[in-house]
Structure 1
Amino acid sequence: MPSKSSARHAALTVAVVCSAASTLVLTAPAHADSVRIHDIQGTTRTSPYAGQQVSGVPGIVTGVRTYGSSKGFWFQDPNPDKNPATSEGVFVFTSSAPKVAVGDSVTVTGTVSEYVPGGTSSGNQSVTEITKPTVTTVSTGNEVPAPTVIDSRSVPSRYTPAGDSAANGSVNALTLRPARYALDYYESLEGMNVQVKNVRVTTATDPYAELWATVKPSENRSERGGSLYGSYDSQNTGRIQIQSLGATADFPVANVGDTLSGATTGPLDYNQFGGYTLVASELGTLKSGGLKRETTKKQARDELAVATYNVENLDPSDTTFAAHASAIVNNLRSPDVVSLEEIQDNNGAKDDGTVAADVTVNKLIDAIVAAGGPRYQWRSIDPVNDQDGGEPGGNIRQVFLFNPERVSFTDRAGGDATTAVGVTTVRGKARLTASPGRIDPANAAWANSRKPLAGEFVFHGRTVFVIANHLNSKGGDQGLTAQYQPPTRSSETQRHAQATLVNTFVKSILTAQKNADVIALGDMNDFEFSGTAKVLEDGGALWSAIKSLPKNERYTYDYQGNQQVLDQILISPEIRRDRAFSYDSVHINSEFHDQISDHDPQVLRFRP
């Protein structure tokens, strides 16, 4: 995957610049007098005054943003109309630090525009704004309009209407029904002063001083206090992003399950990274939920423990080696085989043709030994330079670690970055033509993406085939709050093609040996209920073992208030049917503000 911080920084730069690429002008320029904010906002997602000049629009300033490139202020009409579909607040984009204060009564003259955070190609909804403003202060020190309270009773359980098929699924022109749909409800409050009370944190504070919380504490609650994302058809309508309108240094450092006690109040914005966001001028008091990192149980003497762990762009310059080592030794209890994803080459993101990763891997192995773990051996295949996606220059790949005191690796020459591994039958047993080897690396399905790494391991005399995967990411998919409903998941096309190749390869092993032990694991970048999972499982070749857990424990990742499955360990029928196995999603990262990776590792234990 690309570097989270660099991608986010670049995207933030785009999100706060009001450019031609991200502003929709929906009508020819005109002039409108004597309009109120609710007239500008209208009853749909786009203003009936978009592109027009408006004069003397009155309101009270409710929030002032002086940082970044999106400088401006929110103001709200203290005399609302009686239509719940029309917002009474709007953002005024000033481009420089505004010369108003909260409580000022002002009139604004300017041009109404529809700004799309992230640009129109993102599919995001637009934010109604007044741009190029002339602001007149009428009086100061006025009482701010009372915040609208967002709670479990006010937010509908239905998420969104279906978009207009004649407009490619856009909901922009649909009349808002805030009593029926959650997205309509939030849109009807865009720009207004809102408030949430005693909300539970569902995504930990990130490096950008943001967190996600829910106003519906019982909605799809996980065992540790988050909100599970378990279906495309059943959204968590109570989740909302919270940022600070003031100094981020004072923003609460929260984990999942913590509570913002009391009132959190501020304007309701819409941004590129998650949609509707409460930009807080008043933050509730953080109350810890006491969440602790999990530790799995040690495998029995006759159990093989196989794990997958995305270490998030690990390269020799990182400071997280000791922490990752401690996690593998103490939280994962030193699995016999560990599939690592996102191991970068020896100089990380420097794009100079380096592809070897021995420095990176050996530094981790040494740290594991220092943490009291075994001296793992490792196998991998260096990619062709800049051909496997991820952070430019990083050359991420999958790597097998294995404990030679417990399990052996069957080395068979012939595997390289561009040669496809095959399956043969020798004395009635399946055998890889190369070990390690890559699955069909020249296939177009792997363009700019990681190629699966296959290898043979032997435990107590029985061969176990392990396939390490890192399928293409969800980058480019439309967000859950997109203007297009249901949102388009464009990344699935390539991921399904990749899953088909993995499934076909597993079937070739099972054709050669019906009772073969096969494990396909890694960062699948898709849910256990997804089309990708169905393709991987096609014909009964594999089964996602995370489905052996109770539903409220099925998650490996936490994104925008939703706990979800991205990392999976899929097993062949022989492992599932004939031998007892146990599965554990070990929650050490995704729920915590001080995570060393954004993924939780997974561990499978079974008796070959």
Structure 2
Amino acid sequence: MPTILTGLEKARAIQTDGYPIKSVAVQSDEGEYAAPYCEYSPLTAINAQFSTVIDDPDHPGEKAYVGTVPYRNDNWFKDAKGYVGTSVRTRGLVTGKANGGFFLQWERGTGNPDKPDAVFVKVAGQTNLRDGDLVTVAGEVAIALVENRFTKQAEEDSLPYLVIEAKQADISVLQERAQYNGPTPEAVMLGGDGFVLDPKDSRRASLQAQLLHGRRVHMKRFIATQPSMYGQTYGYANGTPVDVVDVNQEGIAVESANKPLTNIIALRLWGRILRDDNGDVIVDADGHACREKIETTVGDTLEGERGGITGVMVFENSAELVVRPCHPLVATGRVHVDSFPEIHKGPRDLVFMSFNTWNLMPEKIEQGGRIAADMSPIPLDLAVLQEVQDNDGRTNSGTVSADATLAMLEGQRKRVAEEVGTSYSPMQWIDRDPVNNQDGGEPGGNIRNVFGVTQALEVVSDYRLGADSEAFLRTRKPYVGHFKARDTDLEFTMVNVHNSSKHGGTARLGVIQPPRIGSRERRLEQVEVILAHVEELLREHPQRPVFLMGDFNASLNDDSVQALGQSPGCWKIFSDDSDVSILFQGRGQCFEHVIVFASEQFRESQPGFLDRVEVHHITNNLRRPEKMRSSDHGQAVVVLRAEDS
């Protein structure tokens, strides 16, 4: 017997191990709507096993398929294949469009986060549908896999879900949004006392999240754990605001007392406005749906103008939870004061700084000024730069020289020093031009690693590493420099690293489980090439220590960084879990490592060398609004004290 519940908003499925197993009949003021929910075992009716169904009010005696029950286990996939091609009918409000179709949610909703009431309708060609239209659709059941947003190919290891494939002719608009005055699906509450994912079990969390695909959701407030980028930001839906938010290596927001927040759901907020709380689409003078670019920094609290945030949850092909707000948002900004390490430099000390310049090119003069301003407080002798583009940036002209880019940066360094009143030491910028379009990054940009050297150092030699290696095929190459300090007898080698990005990786709580670590194998291959060369250097020049600095695109526990640390020549990795240099997918991680290699001979002759190495991580960029950032990374600074310092 089904459980009868009074009031649509009170409908809750009986659960075992987090998954509903009983059917529920919802009794509302408008009448009873059947919402069968059965054991996940082979059944003979697709509606019972794979969807939520209702009695279609527009077609007496017929059932309407209004929500997809997502993947649960291998039996689901096997049984679902038997229903591909089954004819079904669905109805509801358009909640959002996506590539290849649109999301549809039953206008009355189930009011239950565990009982789906939305489905994706796959249709060829463009439709004239608008968010908020009430429509009916007749089509056939199909199984879909999430597509890779870069290759547009199906991800074979993604969790499958059911969709409806329909033809344009089988989609009927019952009421356009302007005329519709009927019910709106009750929004599922996120965080607090509402829907919360299991943060310790990514696979289980991703299965839970599929239940919200295409549905209206609501959160009391949103706590940003990452500065906004391109109108999007990562963070947590939570019922309690916090004054100070930090993000640890596991991506968990913590309060100032290092107390983890509870009852949260991690997601990405996308700044597209769909509809307000009344179901109205906000449009501009030309009738187009507005887009609101979200500007946040770490710790900002976002709320809707009417209190809370209502939006639509999309389990999109970037394999993340994404909420698209339905109304304008108000950010309660936190004031972040930039902080730089106070470095008291002795006359014979040396200071190095790694800096990912975020695709710097000559036309990005303001960004060049911000980079110069971030360099200004540091008494630099050696700048270790990554991601410097050529003289015409992303224009694919065949140009490979970056002398104009570096001249612009040097000019900004001089200007900032004069305006701020800091000391200015001119730098000699050295690099090796890549082969056109063979070093990755934006097409035509020809990114490369660069050294900036003051008079404190003599450049003995410099070269690119790995140009003939498959590990560095069509990606940026390490840049190696041998330097000699003019005021001491110290010689050292600096390897400027910019390993392959996590391009193609998937979200921790995404539909691909276990999560895919982008370019993992490629980075391991690159590290092998780097290690082989470092070992050769230590044999040929045993009195010359080797520093590795730059953007490793890997956290401390990544296989590639672990391989470096386990090498016999590795003396020390100067980073730990508390050193956060980047917020990647909402998680605090350290990509800017400082690793020192040395021969046994050097260690014996210089036993106190490591004690004279100071490392600082600068995290200002992780807390600035997007338009104020000099980079999407933090920076690492090394102070190498002279023996008599």
Query: Would you say 1:255 and 2:297 are equivalent positions?
Result: yes
SS in 1 for 2:560: helix
Deviations 1:128-163 (A, max 9, x none): 54443423527931232221111156424345466x
Query: Would you say 1:318 and 2:349 are equivalent positions?
Result: no
**AA paired with 2:467?**
P
Deviations 1:303-341 (A, max 9, x none): 3211111112222232322222122114xx242111111
Tell me the residue number matched to 1:166. none
Tell me the residue number matched to 2:470. 444
Deviations 1:241-273 (A, max 9, x none): 112334555444211110113411122112233
Assess, with a 3 A threshold, how the Cα gap between structure 1 residues 352 and 81 changes in structure 2: closer, same or farther. Answer: closer
Tell me the residue number matched to 1:157. 198
Shift of 1:202: 1.4
Query: Would you say 1:271 and 2:316 are equivalent positions?
Result: yes
Shift of 1:512: 4.3
1:143 to 173, 180, 183: 183
Deviations 1:97-129 (A, max 9, x none): 326736x5x543234443634334445556654
**Distance between the aligned counterparts of 1:572 and 1:457, measured in 2?**
15
Shift of 1:281: 0.9
SS in 2 for 1:186: helix
**Distance between the aligned counterparts of 1:562 and 1:231, measured in 2?**
4
1:96 to 120, 127, 131: 127
SS in 1 for 2:198: coil
Q: 1:274, 1:560 within 8 Å by CA — same for their partners in 2?
A: no
Tell me the residue number matched to 2:569. 541
Tell me the residue number matched to 1:198. 221
Tell me the residue number matched to 1:285. 330
After superposing the two structures, state which structure 1 stretch, 364-373 or 267-276, moved more: 267-276
Shift of 1:528: 1.3
Assess, with a 3 A threshold, how the Cα gap between structure 1 residues 391 and 224 changes in structure 2: closer, same or farther. Answer: farther
Within a 5 Å distance, the mapping from 1:304-343 to structure 2 comes to: 304-319=350-365, 320-330=367-377, 333-343=378-388
Q: 1:190, 1:270 within 8 Å by CA — same for their partners in 2?
A: yes
Deviations 1:531-562 (A, max 9, x none): 010122233433664425xx3x4222223222
SS in 1 for 2:391: coil
Q: 2:197, 2:209 within 8 Å by CA — same for their partners in 1?
A: no
**AA paired with 1:377?**
Q
Tell me the residue number matched to 1:375. 426
Assess, with a 3 A threshold, how the Cα gap between structure 1 residues 248 and 599 changes in structure 2: closer, same or farther. Answer: farther
Q: 1:77, 1:89 within 8 Å by CA — same for their partners in 2?
A: no
**Distance between the aligned counterparts of 2:244 and 2:548, measured in 1?**
27
**Distance between the aligned counterparts of 2:504 and 2:586, measured in 1?**
19
Tell me the residue number matched to 1:568. 593
Query: Would you say 1:596 and 2:630 are equivalent positions?
Result: yes
Shift of 1:201: 0.4
Tell me the residue number matched to 1:385. 436
Assess, with a 3 A threshold, how the Cα gap between structure 1 residues 140 and 392 changes in structure 2: closer, same or farther. Answer: closer
After superposing the two structures, state which structure 1 stretch, 119-128 or 236-245, moved more: 119-128
Q: 1:343, 1:399 within 8 Å by CA — same for their partners in 2?
A: yes
Assess, with a 3 A threshold, how the Cα gap between structure 1 residues 127 and 368 changes in structure 2: closer, same or farther. Answer: farther
Q: 1:388, 1:397 within 8 Å by CA — same for their partners in 2?
A: yes
Tell me the residue number matched to 1:182. 205
Shift of 1:38: 5.3
Assess, with a 3 A threshold, how the Cα gap between structure 1 residues 39 and 281 changes in structure 2: closer, same or farther. Answer: closer
Q: 1:468, 1:520 within 8 Å by CA — same for their partners in 2?
A: yes
Assess, with a 3 A threshold, how the Cα gap between structure 1 residues 556 and 569 changes in structure 2: closer, same or farther. Answer: same
Tell me the residue number matched to 2:22. none
Assess, with a 3 A threshold, how the Cα gap between structure 1 residues 504 and 224 changes in structure 2: closer, same or farther. Answer: farther
Query: Would you say 1:354 and 2:383 are equivalent positions?
Result: no
**Distance between the aligned counterparts of 1:218 and 1:584, measured in 2?**
33
Q: 2:110, 2:185 within 8 Å by CA — same for their partners in 1?
A: no
Deviations 1:335-384 (A, max 9, x none): 21111111122222333433222222122112111111321112222223
Assess, with a 3 A threshold, how the Cα gap between structure 1 residues 90 and 365 changes in structure 2: closer, same or farther. Answer: same
Q: 1:36, 1:77 within 8 Å by CA — same for their partners in 2?
A: no
**Distance between the aligned counterparts of 1:442 and 1:100, measured in 2?**
52
**AA paired with 2:536?**
S
SS in 2 for 1:203: coil
Deviations 1:478-519 (A, max 9, x none): 443454321333612221121122222222333345564321
2:273 to 224, 230, 245: 245
**Distance between the aligned counterparts of 1:78 and 1:43, measured in 2?**
24
Assess, with a 3 A threshold, how the Cα gap between structure 1 residues 309 and 96 changes in structure 2: closer, same or farther. Answer: same
After superposing the two structures, state which structure 1 stretch, 313-322 or 357-366, moved more: 313-322
Q: 1:193, 1:268 within 8 Å by CA — same for their partners in 2?
A: yes
Q: 1:545, 1:569 within 8 Å by CA — same for their partners in 2?
A: yes
Unpaired segments ≥5 residues, structure 2: 1-45, 48-52, 54-60, 253-259, 275-288, 418-423
SS in 2 for 1:316: coil
Query: Would you say 1:212 and 2:234 are equivalent positions?
Result: yes
Deviations 1:442-491 (A, max 9, x none): 22222112222221223331112211111122223344345432133361
Shift of 1:400: 0.6
**AA paired with 2:232?**
E
Assess, with a 3 A threshold, how the Cα gap between structure 1 residues 64 and 399 changes in structure 2: closer, same or farther. Answer: closer
SS in 2 for 1:589: helix
Shift of 1:53: 2.8
Q: 1:378, 1:399 within 8 Å by CA — same for their partners in 2?
A: yes
SS in 2 for 1:410: strand
Tell me the residue number matched to 1:425. none
SS in 1 for 2:174: strand
Greater length-normalized contact order (CA 8 Å, ≥ 6 residues apart): 1
**Distance between the aligned counterparts of 1:539 and 1:231, measured in 2?**
29
**Distance between the aligned counterparts of 1:258 and 1:340, measured in 2?**
30
Within a 5 Å distance, the mapping from 1:215-230 to structure 2 comes to: 215=237, 225-230=245-250
Tell me the residue number matched to 1:402. 453
**AA paired with 2:611?**
R
Deviations 1:31-54 (A, max 9, x none): 999444456435649777554331
**Distance between the aligned counterparts of 2:331 and 2:198, measured in 1?**
27
Q: 1:199, 1:214 within 8 Å by CA — same for their partners in 2?
A: yes
Within a 5 Å distance, the mapping from 1:34-53 to structure 2 comes to: 34-37=62-65, 40-41=68-69, 44=72, 50-53=84-87
**Distance between the aligned counterparts of 2:631 and 2:155, measured in 1?**
26
Greater Rg by CA: 2
Q: 2:68, 2:163 within 8 Å by CA — same for their partners in 1?
A: no
Q: 2:137, 2:171 within 8 Å by CA — same for their partners in 1?
A: yes
**Distance between the aligned counterparts of 1:606 and 1:100, measured in 2?**
59
Assess, with a 3 A threshold, how the Cα gap between structure 1 residues 571 and 126 changes in structure 2: closer, same or farther. Answer: same
Tell me the residue number matched to 1:424. none
Query: Would you say 1:524 and 2:524 are equivalent positions?
Result: no
Shift of 1:520: 0.6
Assess, with a 3 A threshold, how the Cα gap between structure 1 residues 588 and 466 changes in structure 2: closer, same or farther. Answer: same
**AA paired with 1:270?**
F
SS in 1 for 2:376: helix
**Distance between the aligned counterparts of 1:64 and 1:441, measured in 2?**
46
Shift of 1:69: 5.9
Equivalences, count: 519
**Distance between the aligned counterparts of 1:604 and 1:269, measured in 2?**
43
